[in-house]
A and B are shown apart, each in its own frame.
Chain A
Amino acid sequence: MTQRTGWKALSGSVLVTLLLAACGSGSTGTSENLAADQTIRFPINDDIGTFDPAHQSALVDFDFAQNIFQGPVKFDNAGKIVPDLLTKLPDVSSDALTYTFHLKQNIKFSNGDPVKADDVLYSWNRAAAAGDAYAGNFSPIVGYDAVSAKVPTSKTLSGLTKTDDYTFVAKLSAPAGWWLSALALGGVSWVIDQKVVTAKGEDTWWTTPDGLVATGPFKMTARVPKASLDFAPVANWWGGSTGAIKKIHVDVIADQASWVTKYEQGGYEIVGYANMSPTAEDILRYQAGTHKAELTLNPSVRSSWVGFSFVKGPFAGDAGKDGRTAFSMAIDRAQMVDVACAKGAQCTPATGGLIAKGLKGYLGDGQDPTSKFDAAAAKALYTKWDPTGSKVKGLKYTYNTSATNKLVAENLQAQWKQNLGVTVALEALDRQTFFSNRDKKTYVLFRHSWSADYDHPQDWFDNLFTCAAGSSGSGYCNKTMDDLVTKADQKPIDQSLNDYISAQKMMIADVVGAPLFYSIQPYLVKPYVKGAGGNAFFDYYWTALKVLQH
């Protein structure tokens, strides 16, 4: 530290001390000194995709919806599965094939309708039949195949039955050690009000405050599409206290650079909720500045990679394997992390497979050979695969717009040009269009990422890499690996982990994607806001937030 900055720091400290003294007990954090205005405001860069639990797949949407909806069980802030709408965790039979759920008897939707077992059955059957990205969470239940078939032979899961108004049973076709975790994630397992869905319309019920009815502690009070969202606690919530916060206001602002400016002007209390991030420049500035304490860098269980289409274009099938390998080996992950992740503050290089570091199934640092940077080998392999350059003519990399994604895309473009001599065009799309098209396997070369829903490799394989995976994007299908994963899914995790690791090595051999980095979630939080932040999987619930006098 130079003498000048030392004096600045000292004088800053003195000033802060004096200000704190002047404020009296204004920042001690007890319940007596809550601010009069209990409003939390934060920005997101694009509108939410959907609040319909049957169709949700984006983490952004989940981070909101977990405060509005509830299911039988949930993860608490420490990541432990706890009962939510249940009186206790479900009873599981000794053969692990029958789950009996006991609902609390005082649950009410925000419109006052009581919640009974029929509501759970309706919600789950509807989500299973919708067949969207997370419908597979019901795949263990008997009758799922009949509901999810291209031409369904049933509209309901035959293994899901009601015993009485507050008890229901799920019979599984095979043991599934991961299933309770999948239920705790929410989304498809959240309970909705059939009466409201019918009245407001199957596709649009969730879009308005009076249609978005659920059992959670918060409800939507206003929504201007592409502009803003407002939420407030449910009055007389059936579950008891909704916490201190009286209003959540969310701005939809594409320009991420303006977020921190507004935060510094007092316009936001938080930047970083709903899987958003301040820009790299802002993170670097805060790391070096006097408000460093407002910045938290939270390792998250998220991987990012380059996806290759296995159904069309030059990378498809066995013929495209050398191309996939060359494009992966041509990426210097260390450089990418430096350039696109605020000198490594926002992510670390992905060298241990697609399953993120810290999770069960992570292969270990440096264990993925395709993520090893070797420009010469990549160039030689590329030249052998595409000697005339005709295969990559007009090639484009597609991504959804955000500051980080843009930096990543431009860095990939530069590295492929430098190390392979290939010019790749960039195509930036809005989030809704991008995700919708990616699920339809439209893109040849694209951004892909996944935030673990829970700590179980099944979450990655069944959603991303099996033949029927709803969020694959690539259309990758390896029957041998599928069989291995199916068997592993049926065993407890301690007995199945090696199978999942073997399956991941098969994927690496097939070069399913080019792993890029594991993310770190930054949060900027005003010092007078308590209870904000998140664990490795999701933001803390809004019920934990409070604003102190300041």
Chain B
Amino acid sequence: MTMGKFLVRRILQGVFVIWGVITIMFGLRAVSPGDPATLMLGEGATQELIEHVREQEGLNEPIYVQYFDYLQGMVIGDFGYSWRSNRQVEAMVIERVPATLELAIAATIVAIVIAIPLGVISATRRNEPSDYGATLFSLLGISTPNFWLGLMLILLLGVWAGLFPTGRRPVGFAEAVTTLVQHGSVYDLGIWLKYITLPAITLGTYFTALITRLTRSGMVDELGKPYVTASKAKGLPSVLVRYKHVLRNTMIPIITVLGLQMGTLMGGAVITETVFNWPGLGLRLIDALDARDWPLMQGIVVFIAIAFVSINIVVDALYSYLNPQVREE
């Protein structure tokens, strides 16, 4: 299969998956208790008003008509209006994307910067104290619920040590960069960094632990292969062998797993944002759930699904570029 064909197939599959997500969300809304018009207007609305809204929103149409209206809206990027704030859902989703993206990227950076050296050290010094330390750390990392970790970090580093602020962040990355460009001041950037540190550690710990484990086991496998012995016999410095050849070969499966774990990252972001009152998509999703604001809830979930599917297509493309055999499956 050529790369082009492979990509077309993956994209078609992705579209199918997103259609599935949209349909499931519609189904959930259809079977959920509570009349949408009443939810929209709140308790105490007159029967007339409710009837008017039902008519206006097409809630009196047969279910399949509602489904196709809804699907049509999604296709052209019209996610409807929030029941609570009456704002456009697309706008409410988009405005929250940067904060979540900043958090996810910061967490991934934390994870990669700590995990890869840790995994390498662990694999090359097997059964030595540093290996046991790294193993213990990664075991704790995958076993600690991130909301609890976040609270303990707030308590230890925020409240007791006073190193980090614990309130809602006053400035986003975009504003911080604007200050830098316009006034040449890194002050806002510093504040931004202070506020993102604890959430990034909270969200990143699980991934740090996961990548450490993957790097260690991948490296251990690779180090046992004949080419490593051969390069050593040739007299290549072991640092070069480890980082250039062995690590590169170890990275391929790690990238795939990370792609698959994007869903976990999004789930973790929901929790982390709740703990730190971080103004991202996850916090908005929880608000929407609490308020039973279906259009907003659906909009956020469908958006997350689209992001997840797209990232996985990119990961698959990268993977098949690195290893053409997978296209033949």
The judgment on whether A and B are partners is no
